[in-house]
Chains A and B, each alone.
Chain A
């Protein structure tokens, strides 16, 4: 693979950012794609922000520069927005409309940012934004697989359906494989209507 692809994953502790990253790494290894990641999750279990960068291709080391993310997979909408500066004109954003309000919003000292404004702004500036909304029937903890399912249908996404499924089989406990694949498959069927 000659091209580099950089994928940013954003979410909140407990949403499965690290799991999703591991899975993509395994799928990349299966695909024989050079891969590296970088994560900051010092306090993630305490409800803080978690982001992970995955870079694929030679001469990348897991780091994403500003304006360097080809894909942004957002598991929580506020955290997705926090990663805006990593986007460039050809970026693709897959953002779950899932919201986890931080304390300042709970306390009423800050508003949760407006979804429509965010989507509108990105529609003008990047190649594609897919907002995942009105999804029901999957457990919150599996929404990360749904997001990956949606992303995997986008052109140029570096990992194939087949290799992602292989990675699931190799890395997910037996009793969770079925529900994991189901969430992923539902994501692949998702149609975003503006």
Chain B
């Protein structure tokens, strides 16, 4: 770069041939014209012009260069990036008035900002030459419009040069300086992208190196007051008729006339070279006469008239964007009664939109001339358009390590797009890239600096509505100083309710990292510190954040959003291209991805299995948020469900208040959301070793209490409908939780399922035995009825061993599930032999009578329950429910601590007034007409006591009726009478028969134990019938449950009401790796993160070690390793 800077400052008496951009040519032209000062605002496609002077400025200000390069440093050129184009032009005007020649550089839309200055200085006067270079952008490669800035010349009455090549750019810039000096009027040089960014060969010539001395003359023209303007206007128009103009026009407006030519072509700008290159191909070059226009305003009427008067058959005007030349040509033709047909906009490819190309001009010229020799001589290859059309696009994206991405991400966590209606107003520059996927954190982008006005305007519009949210404005630091600052003043002044986030990456990033007032690298300038500046304006909330500190960013954004009035956050961290970024504010450790955690599910390998994450991207966002905000981090593996409900997904749905989704997640795995919410003994919580327990059961009850989601089985119905039909029939014997769970899983996988049960209705123990006061029976009926809607056929009142046998089913069906439960009550001889039937019950007969309401409330009476298990406790509580004044005593041989019933149920029973006599046995029972007298003996002391009761209930356990399945005698345990199964898949090793529920040896006797074993049997059947290669998804939790025998202590967070519950889970983070995550790709989109075969890989070429992905990953799969990367 230094070499090029020296070259461009060097005078060559023998021309030096270079191949440089149009923009560099403009700069050299200005230098050859002896420019004293350059004022600009960066903007593509004009930026390289300013950059030349920026380099010159730093080159010339280095002391050592003054001695080393006296020639190149003799004539110092002042340069500044002003804060915006208006200031740049105003300062350039002042420079000129002080007799210093000035160049002012900007892009197309910059002229709109600067126009106020231009529109009135023309009525006054300048002294030294002032040239304004404006670069238009047909086709909008990098602009917010494709305006035609040639209009500004006409509107302001300043001459406009319009070069077509780099060589012309140099020559015309030089001429512009000269003309400006001659007319004492600013002169415009207007380029387009294809001239600015085209390199061509041209020469560096001689420099004069003449310094201008500053002067100031007190003349009336410097004072603009209305009284003078009319006269000044006339004077201005006179300048445009000056002979000086023609001096330059003859150089750049030229006719190439050929005798006998029939066709006339008028061109200007880059179209001139397109036309030249294509006509060069022609075999009949003499047929074409051409008029090229380089100085287009004041309009070159004379030469156009001369061209029109040639004996041409027709004329075409080819210019990009608006028909400015064309319309002038038509006026001249009309005024001079010239009849030659004139073509232009609307003909062939000549549109006022987009940019032209060799191809479009070839088509236009061919359509106009029918000259076949104009066509490309090469044979293009075929079918390219179809291929190219299908290629994935490569939109620009924020760089890896970009602090903007960090800020956008923090904002995304604060106001998730799909659930938040906060309007986000973005701005021009790198900030605008936040609108693209996957960030999509911008709703509006307008012209530069508008974000702050947009936000306050929208906020004002919603002022009277119920909308309480703040509107957010986001803009870069450069944009803020350019024009956002005045808008912020207005917001503070008008008490707007907005949040302004200034993305302060210490530079103007998009255009190539220029300085601005808030971030300058030059000692000669004073850097303006944003925080005191904005606080001084009076904003209510002004804080700075370091975007890579996600936790702080998130909390401050929330604070700012919650503050009424104007909040301002300055997100400060250098752009990755700045030296200060590389100098090491960011970590030097290497980032690695643990693939065993990335997109992996610890719960199942089968990705096709019903899994809630398919419809739950928000869960990831919730988890990502909790990861940085929660105070209690709980690994979800600590709280696995034997039915394998995705507990962490369930939890995260609830955190996001997506209750229907949470219910769906339960229903993915089982029918019974409300039932489990009511009566599950929650092994997930009880078996956890973690200090903090996530109250899954309470949450399940809570989300299932919303009828709308409770009654919605649409997902299961849809899944059943779309399942591939397996054409296999499965018989399930027993319609309890185990059998129904098998049925639910199999029907959704495309099996045909028939269920047989001895009772009239499905539900088994849930329906008939578990007391009504512990659960919602109506809900249960609905849940079981869904199976029939899914297509399961239920046969009630069918008795195994009587109406059919295992052998029958095994032959008629492809597989059988035996899930008949334990319905045979164990008897106690002392009771059986001495108590009449009217005064005795088994737990099952008593509870069934309770549930069918065949026992009515009576006078207060005394109950004695024998047994310490769940059916004993249920019976005891039920006895109290019949009449609270009943005296209920429970006797069991176990100690209080070792009673096998669920602890919570025991506590409930005691609370309700049940008296428990532990470690005692019933020694003697005497029926004394009125009452039954029982002698109870303490096993510890051998002391006895006598208890009188009206009803005695034996609840010492149940066993299966082995006669019903005599075929399985070999598989039946001799002691327990339970069936031995393969505990991975429920297979009985008998034909095609599987078993589930309490009847299985080793199965935990609980609802969730039954459900899980039913699901396990369904998996076993799939393995048998469809070669399904995966094991039961919940096997680990089920094994853990089955092995658990000891008593559990009741978890601390046993929330009794909704408010406590929702409050209680705040601050909890319940996490697990998820196979369907994709969070970083969907929400973060760092270009250094690539998904290869379903796992994230780091592209170390791009990775800047910013470490943000570590905080982003919901799977905790990304970490730093201690390998320090050298600076």
Contact in complex: B577, A45 (CB < 8 Å)? yes
Nearest chain B CB to A18's CB is how many angstroms away? Answer: 11
Nearest chain A CB to B212's CB is how many angstroms away? Answer: 35
In the assembly, what is the distance between CA of A45 and CA of B1087, in Å? 12
Within 8 A of B (CB), among A65-99: 65-68, 78-79, 81-82, 84-85, 87-91
Contact in complex: B197, A63 (CB < 8 Å)? no
| Also in contact, A84 and B381, with CB within 8 A (given A37-B199, A102-B393) | yes
Q: Which of A104-112, A150-158, A181-189 contacts B (4 or more CB under 8 A)?
A: A104-112
In the assembly, what is the distance between CA of A101 and CA of B1089, in Å? 10
Is the C-beta of B277 less than 8 angstroms from some C-beta in chain A?
yes
Is the C-beta of A125 less than 8 angstroms from some C-beta in chain B?
yes
Chain B: CB-nearest residue to A50: B394
In the assembly, what is the distance between CA of A12 and CA of B376, in Å? 29
Chain A residues, Cβ within 8 Å of B362: 65
Contact in complex: B381, A46 (CB < 8 Å)? no
Contact in complex: A29, B17 (CB < 8 Å)? yes
Chain B: CB-nearest residue to A6: B378
Within 8 A of A (CB), among B121-147: 141-142
Is the C-beta of B733 less than 8 angstroms from some C-beta in chain A?
no
Chain A: CB-nearest residue to B360: A65
Contact in complex: A81, B1087 (CB < 8 Å)? no
Contact in complex: A66, B201 (CB < 8 Å)? no
Contact in complex: B378, A88 (CB < 8 Å)? yes
Contact in complex: B19, A25 (CB < 8 Å)? yes
Is the C-beta of B24 less than 8 angstroms from some C-beta in chain A?
no
Chain B: CB-nearest residue to A125: B381
Is the C-beta of A38 less than 8 angstroms from some C-beta in chain B?
yes
Instruction: Fill in one digit per residue for B1082-1093: 1 if any A CB lies within 8 Å of its CB, else 0.
Output: 100101011100
In the assembly, what is the distance between CA of A88 and CA of B382, in Å? 9
Chain B residues, Cβ within 8 Å of A66: 359, 376, 380
Contact in complex: A85, B384 (CB < 8 Å)? yes
Interface residue count on the A side (C-beta < 8 Å): 59
| Also in contact, A110 and B280, with CB within 8 A (given A67-B380, A85-B380, A103-B397) | no
Contact in complex: B357, A65 (CB < 8 Å)? yes
Contact in complex: A84, B384 (CB < 8 Å)? yes
Within 8 A of B (CB), among A17-67: 25-26, 28-29, 34-43, 45-49, 59-67
In the assembly, what is the distance between CA of A88 and CA of B380, in Å? 4
Instruction: Fill in one digit per residue for B1060-1097: 1 if any A CB lies within 8 Å of its CB, else 0.
Output: 00000000000000000010011001010111000000
Nearest chain A CB to B704's CB is how many angstroms away? Answer: 35
In the assembly, what is the distance between CA of A129 and CA of B738, in Å? 65
Is the C-beta of B119 less than 8 angstroms from some C-beta in chain A?
no
- The answer, among A12, A67, A88, for a CB contact under 8 Å with B394, is A12
Contact in complex: B142, A64 (CB < 8 Å)? no
Nearest chain B CB to A192's CB is how many angstroms away? Answer: 20
- The answer, among B165, B380, B387, for a CB contact under 8 Å with A61, is B165
- The answer, among A26, A38, A78, A140, for a CB contact under 8 Å with B198, is A38
In the assembly, what is the distance between CA of A102 and CA of B393, in Å? 7
Chain A residues, Cβ within 8 Å of B512: 45
Contact in complex: B199, A36 (CB < 8 Å)? yes
| Also in contact, A85 and B378, with CB within 8 A (given A65-B358, A68-B358) | no
Within 8 A of A (CB), among B343-379: 357-359, 362, 376, 378-379
Contact in complex: B394, A48 (CB < 8 Å)? yes
Chain A: CB-nearest residue to B394: A102
Nearest chain A CB to B404's CB is how many angstroms away? Answer: 11
Instruction: Fill in one digit per residue for B513-532: 1 if any A CB lies within 8 Å of its CB, else 0.
Output: 00000000000000000000
Chain A residues, Cβ within 8 Å of B1081: 106-108
Is the C-beta of A126 less than 8 angstroms from some C-beta in chain B?
yes
- The answer, among A84, A87, A107, for a CB contact under 8 Å with B438, is A107
Contact in complex: B1089, A103 (CB < 8 Å)? no
In the assembly, what is the distance between CA of A60 and CA of B420, in Å? 55
Nearest chain A CB to B356's CB is how many angstroms away? Answer: 10
| Also in contact, A126 and B381, with CB within 8 A (given A36-B201, A61-B273, A106-B1089) | yes
Chain B residues, Cβ within 8 Å of A87: 380-381, 384
In the assembly, what is the distance between CA of A35 and CA of B201, in Å? 7
Chain B: CB-nearest residue to A61: B273
In the assembly, what is the distance between CA of A64 and CA of B1091, in Å? 36
In the assembly, what is the distance between CA of A43 and CA of B142, in Å? 8
Chain A: CB-nearest residue to B194: A38
Contact in complex: B396, A43 (CB < 8 Å)? yes
Contact in complex: A47, B273 (CB < 8 Å)? no
| Also in contact, A125 and B165, with CB within 8 A (given A42-B44, A104-B392) | no
Chain A: CB-nearest residue to B165: A61
Chain A: CB-nearest residue to B361: A65
In the assembly, what is the distance between CA of A184 and CA of B777, in Å? 80
- The answer, among B142, B194, B379, B388, for a CB contact under 8 Å with A81, is B388
Is the C-beta of B433 less than 8 angstroms from some C-beta in chain A?
yes
Nearest chain B CB to A135's CB is how many angstroms away? Answer: 16
In the assembly, what is the distance between CA of A102 and CA of B395, in Å? 8
Instruction: Fill in one digit per residue for A116-136: 1 if any B CB lies within 8 Å of its CB, else 0.
Output: 000001100110000000000
Is the C-beta of B398 less than 8 angstroms from some C-beta in chain A?
yes
Chain B residues, Cβ within 8 Å of A65: 357-359, 362, 376
In the assembly, what is the distance between CA of A68 and CA of B379, in Å? 9
In the assembly, what is the distance between CA of A122 and CA of B1090, in Å? 29
Contact in complex: A81, B391 (CB < 8 Å)? yes
Chain A: CB-nearest residue to B358: A65
- The answer, among A26, A40, A63, for a CB contact under 8 Å with B358, is A63
Nearest chain A CB to B1100's CB is how many angstroms away? Answer: 10
Nearest chain A CB to B365's CB is how many angstroms away? Answer: 12
Contact in complex: A103, B1087 (CB < 8 Å)? yes
Contact in complex: B391, A78 (CB < 8 Å)? yes
Nearest chain B CB to A91's CB is how many angstroms away? Answer: 8
Nearest chain B CB to A158's CB is how many angstroms away? Answer: 14
Within 8 A of B (CB), among A152-172: none
Contact in complex: A68, B437 (CB < 8 Å)? no
- The answer, among A13, A36, A46, A89, for a CB contact under 8 Å with B433, is A46
Which of B274, B391, B438 lies at the interface centre, i.e. has the most chain A CB atoms within 10 A of its CB? B391
Is the C-beta of B385 less than 8 angstroms from some C-beta in chain A?
yes
Chain B residues, Cβ within 8 Å of A88: 376, 378-381
Chain A: CB-nearest residue to B1092: A101
Which of B276, B381, B1091 lies at the interface centre, i.e. has the most chain A CB atoms within 10 A of its CB? B381
Is the C-beta of B399 less than 8 angstroms from some C-beta in chain A?
yes
Is the C-beta of B510 less than 8 angstroms from some C-beta in chain A?
yes
Chain A: CB-nearest residue to B387: A84
In the assembly, what is the distance between CA of A82 and CA of B388, in Å? 5
Is the C-beta of B300 less than 8 angstroms from some C-beta in chain A?
no
Is the C-beta of B45 less than 8 angstroms from some C-beta in chain A?
yes
Chain B: CB-nearest residue to A88: B378
Which of A42, A67, A90 lies at the interface centre, i.e. has the most chain B CB atoms within 10 A of its CB? A42
Contact in complex: A103, B437 (CB < 8 Å)? yes
In the assembly, what is the distance between CA of A54 and CA of B1101, in Å? 28
Chain B residues, Cβ within 8 Å of A67: 376, 378-381
Chain A: CB-nearest residue to B141: A42
In the assembly, what is the distance between CA of A121 and CA of B386, in Å? 13
In the assembly, what is the distance between CA of A88 and CA of B433, in Å? 36
Contact in complex: B200, A62 (CB < 8 Å)? yes
Contact in complex: B200, A36 (CB < 8 Å)? yes
Chain A residues, Cβ within 8 Å of B17: 29
24 residue pairs bridging A and B, Cβ less than 8 Å apart: A25-B199, A35-B201, A38-B199, A40-B197, A42-B141, A42-B142, A45-B577, A47-B394, A63-B274, A67-B376, A81-B391, A84-B388, A85-B385, A87-B380, A87-B381, A103-B397, A103-B437, A103-B438, A104-B392, A106-B1089, A107-B437, A107-B1078, A107-B1091, A121-B387
Q: What 7 pairs between A and B have smallest CB-CB spacing?
A: A67-B380, A42-B142, A88-B378, A46-B396, A43-B396, A110-B392, A65-B358
Known: A78-B391, A106-B1090. 14 other contacts (CB 8 A): A29-B19, A36-B19, A37-B198, A46-B399, A46-B510, A48-B394, A49-B394, A61-B274, A65-B376, A67-B379, A82-B391, A103-B397, A111-B392, A121-B387
Which A residues are closer than 8 A to B by beta carbons?
A: 12-13, 25-26, 28-29, 34-43, 45-49, 59-68, 78-79, 81-82, 84-85, 87-91, 101-108, 110-113, 121-122, 125-126, 140
